[in-house]
Amino acid sequence: MDMDFTPDELAFQHDVRAFLQTHLTARLIDGARRTPGVFVEPDIGLEWQRILHEKGWLATHWPVEHGGPGWTPVQRYIFEKECAFAGAPALPVLGLKLVGPVICRFGTPEQQARFLPRILSAEDYWCQGYSEPGSGSDLASLTTRAVLQGDTYRMNGSKIWTTHAHYANWIFCLVRTDNDVSAQRGITFLLVPMDQPGITVTPIITMAGDHEVNQVFFDDATSGVENRIGDEGQGWTIAKHLLENERGGSCFAPKLLVDIDRLAMTAGEVPSGVNGAIGHDPVIARRLASLRLRARAFEITELRILAEIAKGRPPGPQTSLVKLFSANLRQELDTLAMEIHGLAGLQLPDERPLYGNEAPEPVGSVDAQLAAGRYLNSRAWTIFGGSDEVQKNIIAKTVLGL
């Protein structure tokens, strides 16, 4: 595989860097830096989304006819890598990278005209209704029921671990519409408005102290048949397409490499009672080097997958490799950060504003304040989007042929 960028790709990289230098504000960088989890707060993420939307650089996974920039897979990689190096906040992934591509591929022209522009403009904010209290890794066992009465579906049941449901005005759901067929064939993909009396959002406060996820209850909640994506019973097929985007729709290696370099820099400043800075400890240095080498190898894997996509081959089960590697590297990195920061990593974040007249704090002190939150939050990486065990089964069956 040729790893060198073409002259056009190098020119694009220069354009991205120039844009980030002029449009990525200190407020956005600081907001991203103070985020312990995967999702930034909407006031940060949506501000960055609107800036990219105005530039036409937002829906990088969408076809041009629906508002995508028409980039090649390599250009998407360059953009995400430069954003990671610059410290840009994460975008609201649920609308842009999950349900948006589903509507592009499976939605009717009317659904595309109705929903896609509002995702781009940030007028609609989405959450995902997949997991249930008794249906996590075994997603096909879900029981939330939707019965079609005339032109309206009436829903009853609940979804759990619903990220940012307390902000969302729409939820995309997997619902059971037929109990008389196999589990997978009875599932339908439905878009449901959140602002109605039949929906209750109950906060779930994580052990990191975050209110990021929720349980959502449906008590005779309704959604019109015009909000069904695809046919009844097609939900499992659509869900698999969406999960491929969730597991491998982004480039994870660049952000990992940035965070590893930042931790190595911090380790060189954290005092140790034995050898000066803790980063001089050979055990710590070896673990940082191992993380960096594996993240580099992981980056090559992501680039190989992008090369296949560029040839018109869908990534398929290879996305499970991406999910498996990125989740475990992230957990190992956050564990090492806790060890490096020690007691300083157990302090609560202060109440200072994200921006103002004060001089910014050193990077190390902010990372120390967030070390515990990041460590606790990243415990979910090997569970969400399909647990490690699920990914290994997919790899064993579809990649290794076992």
pLDDT in tens, 76-127: 999 999 999 999 999 999 999 999 999 999 999 999 999 999 999 999 999 9
Reduced to 3 states (helix: H, G, I; strand: E, B; else coil), residue 221 is: strand
Does this model's pTM top 0.75? My answer is yes
Q: What is the pLDDT of residue 354?
A: 41
Q: Does 269 qualify as catalytic in the annotation?
A: no
Angle, CA of 300, 320 and 372, to the nearest 5°: 85
Q: What is the DSSP string of 5-55?
A: PPHHHHHHHHHHHHHHHHHS-HHHHHHHHT--SSSPPHHHHHHHHHHHHHH
136 Rama sector, left if φ>0, alpha if ψ -120 to 50, beta otherwise: alpha
The pLDDT score that the predictor gives to residue 137 is 77
pLDDT for position 109 = 97
Cα separation, 10 vs 8, whole angstroms: 5
pLDDT digits (tens, 9 = 90+) for 2-22: 567 899 999 999 999 999 999
* Residue 30, strand partner residues: none
State the catalytic residue, choosing from 246, 332, 358, 389. 246
Res 242: pLDDT: 87
Identify the pLDDT of residue 247. Answer: 57
Structural element, H or E, at residue 157: strand 152-160
Q: Which residues of the chain have pLDDT under 50?
A: 1, 350-360, 362-363
pLDDT at 350: 47
DSSP 80-117: HHHHHHHTPPPP-HIIIIIIHHHHHHHS-HHHHHHHHH
